[in-house]
Amino acid sequence: MSVEFITITLVIITFAIYTGIGWWSRVRDTSNFYVAGQNVPTVANGAAIAADWMSAASFISMAGLVAFLGFDGTIYLMGWTGGYVLLALLLAPYLRKFGKFTVPDFIGDRFYSSNARAVAAIATIFISLTYISGQMRGVGIVFSRYLQVDIIVGVLIGMAIVGFFALLGGMKGVTWTQAIQYFVIIIAFIIPAAAISFQLTGNPIPQLALTGSDIVDRLGQIQVDLGMTEYMSPFTDLSLLNVFMITLALMAGTAGLPHVIVRFYTVKSVRSARWSAVWAIIFIALLYLTAPAVGAFAKYNLIDTIAGEPLEDIQNIEWVEKWETTGLLQFNDLNGDGIVDFTGGDDNEVVIDGDIIVLSTPEVANLAPFIIALVAAGGLAAALSTASGLLITMTSAVSHDIYYRIFNKQASEKQRLRVGRLTLLVALLIAAYVGINPPGFAGEVVALAFGLGAASLFPVILLGIFDKQMNKEGAVAGILTGLIFTLAMIGMILSQSIFGTDQPILESFFGINAQGVGVIGMVLNFIVSFIVSRNTAAPPLEIQQLIENVRAPEVDEDSEIAAGKEE
């Protein structure tokens, strides 16, 4: 049987399971649609958080970024893992204790302002749209390869599937589907990693093979021989400044991502929120500790297979033919000698989209067809799980935080669900467009969302919990300052890929690239929030007391702050 047949069969089986779960958990009320009724078991919620977290950026793109960036690629590992620990320890328990549906809900009630709620909802929409665009690209790549269709068609197929799951079950269906998808993701990542590790080093444990064998030294020497920089040479693709700024943006952005934060509202108590975080960290670590090894193995196999070989022979290899069909792998014989020059410089004759590294590695290594199919199913599970959660987050921002809480407080359950589902469809169309016309690799696009989260929501959430004097004027001014500045900088720095300009409007912001500029927006947010809040009226005493109660140690772990809590 062909790889494609096995892949489609495995995808159909897993999708049938997801659909069954979605139908079983279909919802008819807003509590289940937005926060799964707040009764998800702790371990299941930890797995769902991990699946939501390990998006196409983690599964498909992160190892590719590590493969191409080498030492500099570790920023994604440090930023994303450090950021999750920051979120789990510093913010999540307090937000869950506050007892609201969404991040804009928290900001609206904490800052006693519809304006604060509205700008938080707008920030949520921008963050989520940017994030989901990377997921749609990941889905499109998988479908384009294994259905042998153009990536545009692949993205459109993915759009239809993501919309179906999110529309059917809301957050309840998405949560239980993600809990299952986590195990598909982790199995699909670790099994090929172990097989390739054993093939290259004789050690089936990727982490030990990476650190205990000479594979990195061999890869580094091959790259030097081909005219590239040494694999572990630091600050070759990114400056020291950008390594620091991107890592910080990813960390702070993690703590400001609304679709991750809302996960801690789906459990029944503060104690459950804490343990959900612990389980999620354990689940996430399994993939993140494996990704560096996959990146190094993939780069070694790819160079060893392609570099210096006759172009005609390479193009006759089955996996090369099929990836060339997608347009994500290209060969240009610039000097006409018929030999593939893989150098990474101006004379490089191989164009490889970094997002295909993980998906193509099992084929390059000539692993069993079932393992190749398993990786495809895992990539789809990673992208679909995160995309579904993001769609629910966006719809809640519009239908719950803007439509219901601001414009129509008498809206019925049916009206709110209708607005939410219409919003979901519009968001899908926008995400599909950006997925077809991305400003970078899936991981790079997702990093932009983290920058927006760091610049807009993180400072206000942090100050909202730990600064009693932070008021509504400071919150609104801070969010708008951070969001507008970061959006403007990203637009100008990436204007060539986003808007099709001949040259970027701005090369960088004083040496800081688009992925790291959110840190400047975050700093501006903190400064503006602090200054404005200290020069305007202090929050009402009941709000200050509410914050004291939120920060106080729990006496009854299952209790919640009642003030402002919805029926």
Higher pLDDT, 148 or 249: 249
Average pLDDT over residues 319-345: 84
> Got the DSSP string for 55-86?
-HIIIIIIHHHHHHHGGGGHHHHHHHHHHHHH
Phi/psi at 309 (5° precision): -95, 155
Residue type (1 letter), 3: V
Torsion of CA 537, 540, 546, 551, to 10 degrees: 30
Q: 243-299: per-residue pLDDT in tens?
A: 999 999 999 988 777 777 776 666 667 777 778 878 888 888 888 899 999 999 999
In this structure, of 45-54, 128-137, 498-507, 558-567, the range with the lowest mean pLDDT score is 558-567
CA–CA separation, 514 vs 375, rounded Å? 30
Looking at residue 326, its pLDDT comes to 80
Average pLDDT over residues 392-407: 81
Does residue 167 register a pLDDT over 90? Answer: no
Looking at residue 201, its pLDDT comes to 93
CA–CA separation, 27 vs 130, rounded Å? 27
Average pLDDT over residues 475-488: 96
User: Which residues lie below 8 Å from residue 144, measured CB to CB, with a gap of 6+?
Assistant: 150, 151, 153, 154, 326, 328
Place of tokens 């297979």: 305
Looking at residue 173, its pLDDT comes to 62
Q: 458-479: per-residue pLDDT in tens?
A: 999 999 999 999 999 999 999 9
Look over the chain and give the mean of its residue pLDDT values, rounded to a whole number.
83
Looking at residue 87, its pLDDT comes to 80
Higher pLDDT, 171 or 539: 539
559 pLDDT band (50/70/90 cuts)?
Answer: very low
33-37, 53-57, 317-321, 412-416 — most confident range: 317-321
Does residue 35 register a pLDDT over 60? Answer: no
Looking at residue 267, its pLDDT comes to 67
- Full-model pTM: 0.83
CA–CA separation, 529 vs 322, rounded Å? 53
Q: 313-327: per-residue pLDDT in tens?
A: 998 898 898 888 888
Looking at residue 156, its pLDDT comes to 86
**In angstroms, what CA-CA distances link 161 with 12, 280, 384?**
12, 26, 8
Looking at residue 172, its pLDDT comes to 60
The closest alpha carbon to 472, from 521, 528, 533, 548, belongs to 533
Looking at residue 243, its pLDDT comes to 94
> Got the DSSP string for 478-536?
HHHHHHHHHHHHHHHHTHHHHT--SS-S-S-BTTB-TTTTHHHHHHHHHHHHHHHHHTS
Average pLDDT over residues 180-196: 89
What percent of the chain is predicted at pLDDT more than 90? 27
Looking at residue 558, its pLDDT comes to 46
Looking at residue 273, its pLDDT comes to 74
Looking at residue 557, its pLDDT comes to 45
CB burial of residue 276 (10 Å; 0-12, 13-18, 19+): buried
508 pLDDT band (50/70/90 cuts)?
Answer: very high
What percent of the chain is predicted at pLDDT more than 70? 88
In this structure, of 67-81, 336-350, 537-551, the range with the lowest mean pLDDT score is 336-350
268, 257 in Cβ contact below 8 A?
A: no
Average pLDDT over residues 439-456: 81
